[in-house]
Structure 1
Amino acid sequence: MTMSLEDIAWHRSVGQMIDALDQTNFWTQLVRLLEHYVPFDSWVVLLFSSEHKPLVFAECPGQDGSPDQLFQDYLNGLYLLDPFYIASREHSRTGLLRLAEVAPEHFELTEYYQRYFRLNVVADEIQFNSHQPDGRTLCLSLGSRQRFDREQIALLSLIQPWVLSLLRQRLPYELKQVSTPEPPELNDEWGTHLTARELDVGRLMLSGCSSKEIARKLDISVETVKVHKKHIYRKLGIKSQSELFSIFLQAQKDQGAPHPVS
């Protein structure tokens, strides 16, 4: 069997990536390699954990080089509504995940989508996920202003074994750079007057789950879900999911803000 020049170029590039595993510009090199085959507009490398908030190992630079405030909102608590983060907690697996596979039924109708996702990611997202034995998941996320088409997804699926192997081998180098303990996960109890089950229902509502999806995830009836929704709205004195999202977002910002020194 003969190899094409493109095949030879790919294998040579992978060899160069292996040599760069311990280099500070590893992620930039990997992203540039992937961008040569599939176009995308943003990227970030995250470590998801069920016990801590996500760690950011690398991200695409902003246009003016300043921190992206929207992404700071994500790290301050919006990640709790991220379909990929939720999926990593519910059924962690190694592989290539598409937004269409993990997004809840009503995802595009949520305040999270309207006020964060479509502004920061814009249209579509795809992730290379490397699930670790300790339960954490290393993710290379690619965002695009346009939907990834079938040919692009097929190509990413074809090269995913190489990419996932590189992710797995890079993780020890990243963890060596973490000099301080991971901060605890932000408190998800943003409704102080709500029960634990009402908090679960409220978070799933905000992530875009329909009543049927919530019932399935929590193993309760749809009617029970509706009752919980009524209780949430009554206890918080609100009438819409937009108001519910505002309460959630403000609570995460308050929890993430530094406490004044007395």
Structure 2
Amino acid sequence: MGSETNLTLQDVAWHDAVGRLIENLDQPHFWASMTRLLGRYVPVDSWVVLIFNPGRPLVLAESPTEEGGTDSLFQDYLKGLYLLDPFYLANRESPRSGLFQLDDVAPECFEQTDYYQRYFRLNVVADEIHLNVQLDPQRTLSLSLGSRCRFSQEQLALLRLIQPWVAGLMRQRCVFEQASNSAPAAEPSTDWQERLLSPTLQISSALSTREAEVAQLMLSGCSNKEIARKLAISAETVKVHRKHMYNKLGIKSQSELFLLFLQAQE
């Protein structure tokens, strides 16, 4: 007697949908079709496809707003807030393929940052997952899935199960992405210290390179202990750098530092 076939109707539907996606790899609606398919199994409220690189992230596709227009908050992200994005920072620190949840990459004090309160909480709301495909040492293709609710363990397990299918489709799609193949090289990130110390801010005293590094890590949500580990210095030295930085900039809080950062993006 032959072995039983345990293939379910849901399995058949998944493979049929993947087959159609393969046939439509060269179509402009590919990314929207793929995220709709994922949404059948793991509901998402927003999505964006981008390429992380040493410069500003390159956006390939994004979910439409309810009004059908441009998402102003996401435009702020592209102007410079990406420099505080835990997914961007984690990828630049250690680029690799895989599935990453916010909890995997967020610094210890992320939810206390102005970036979280003024951007992330309003734009993504509760949770975010990235499906990353490393294209080469400098570039990583990333599908970001945002949700108003925390992703459950069952949803995460399902995404990990289908990740090889999704990653394969993402990699094959890149062949047809004119934006990533023919566009000029991505605009390099302006040095963060130069952004913060833009002449329009009328700040006379420049921060040292180390003080600027501490500032960025603070704004991204790193605790003193995390900053010390990343920069291979002591936690006490971190406090000294913070004090000197605040004195130079004439500020007294991290919120004031974030406002200076925003002004430097304009």
TM-score norm. by structure 2 comes to 0.92
Helix, strand or coil for the counterpart of 1:168? helix
Check whether the contact 2:174–2:180 (CA below 8 A) recurs between aligned residues.
no
In 2 relative to 1, CA 90–13 (structure 1 residues): closer, same or farther, beyond 3 Å?
Answer: same
* Aligned equivalent of 2:203: none
1:225 aligned partner, one-letter code? V
1:165 CA displacement = 0.6
Q: Unpaired segments of 5 or more residues in structure 1? A: 254-262
1:1-262 matches, within 5 Å, as 1-50=5-54, 52-175=55-178, 179-181=182-184, 182-189=186-193, 190-192=195-197, 193-253=206-266
CA distance in 2, matches of 1:84, 1:139: 10
* Aligned equivalent of 1:259: none
CA distance in 2, matches of 1:176, 1:101: 29
TM-score norm. by structure 1 comes to 0.93
How many correspondences in the alignment? 252
1:134 CA displacement = 3.6
Q: Unpaired segments of 5 or more residues in structure 2? A: 198-205
| Bigger CA radius of gyration | 2
In 2 relative to 1, CA 234–82 (structure 1 residues): closer, same or farther, beyond 3 Å?
Answer: same
In 2 relative to 1, CA 176–241 (structure 1 residues): closer, same or farther, beyond 3 Å?
Answer: closer
CA distance in 2, matches of 1:183, 1:160: 30
1:5 CA displacement = 1.0
CA distance in 2, matches of 1:236, 1:97: 36
Check whether the contact 1:76–1:186 (CA below 8 A) recurs between aligned residues.
no
Identity %: 61
CA distance in 2, matches of 1:8, 1:186: 49
Check whether the contact 1:43–1:60 (CA below 8 A) recurs between aligned residues.
yes
Helix, strand or coil for the counterpart of 1:36? helix
More divergent stretch after superposition (70-79 vs 8-17): 8-17
More divergent stretch after superposition (116-125 vs 62-71): 62-71
In 2 relative to 1, CA 177–226 (structure 1 residues): closer, same or farther, beyond 3 Å?
Answer: closer
CA distance in 1, matches of 2:32, 2:126: 23
CA distance in 2, matches of 1:151, 1:162: 18
* Aligned equivalent of 2:202: none
CA distance in 1, matches of 2:21, 2:141: 17
CA distance in 2, matches of 1:178, 1:237: 45
Helix, strand or coil for the counterpart of 2:192? coil
1:183 CA displacement = 2.3
1:191 CA displacement = 3.4
CA distance in 2, matches of 1:186, 1:143: 28
CA distance in 2, matches of 1:56, 1:200: 26
1:180 CA displacement = 3.8
CA distance in 2, matches of 1:251, 1:191: 5
CA distance in 1, matches of 2:221, 2:180: 36
1:179 CA displacement = 4.6
1:187 CA displacement = 3.4
1:13 CA displacement = 1.1
1:252 CA displacement = 1.3
* Aligned equivalent of 1:260: none
